[in-house]
Amino acid sequence: MQQMSIAAIARRKKLLDDDVIICLADSSWEILDVSGSDVTNFGLAKVAEICKSLRAVDIRYYSCLLRI
């Protein structure tokens, strides 16, 4: 659970990006808040591969969303 706390702090400090979220991703995560961060579709896809239990992702104010 430490990784989730670090990710939350990084998001609040505007430091959360693909590299950070991928390094912190943990298979036990069920929820993820990347709202207002610099995480891209690539980062989200990698996290989804790692976090098989992921059920909800908050992407509000998500400026890095790319249309596929």
| Total structural domains within the chain | 1
Has this prediction a pTM greater than 0.85?
Answer: no
pLDDT confidence band for 61 (50 / 70 / 90): confident
**40-49, long-range: CB within 8 Å, 24+ apart, which pairs?**
40/64, 40/66, 41/65, 41/66, 41/68, 42/18, 43/17, 43/18, 43/19, 46/18, 46/22, 47/21, 47/22
In a domain, 65, yes or no: no
Residue 64 pLDDT > 70: no
Please write the tens of the pLDDT for every residue from 1-60. 698 899 999 999 999 999 999 999 999 999 999 998 999 999 999 999 999 999 999 988
In a domain, 35, yes or no: yes
Its domain, for residue 43, covers 2-58
In a domain, 44, yes or no: yes
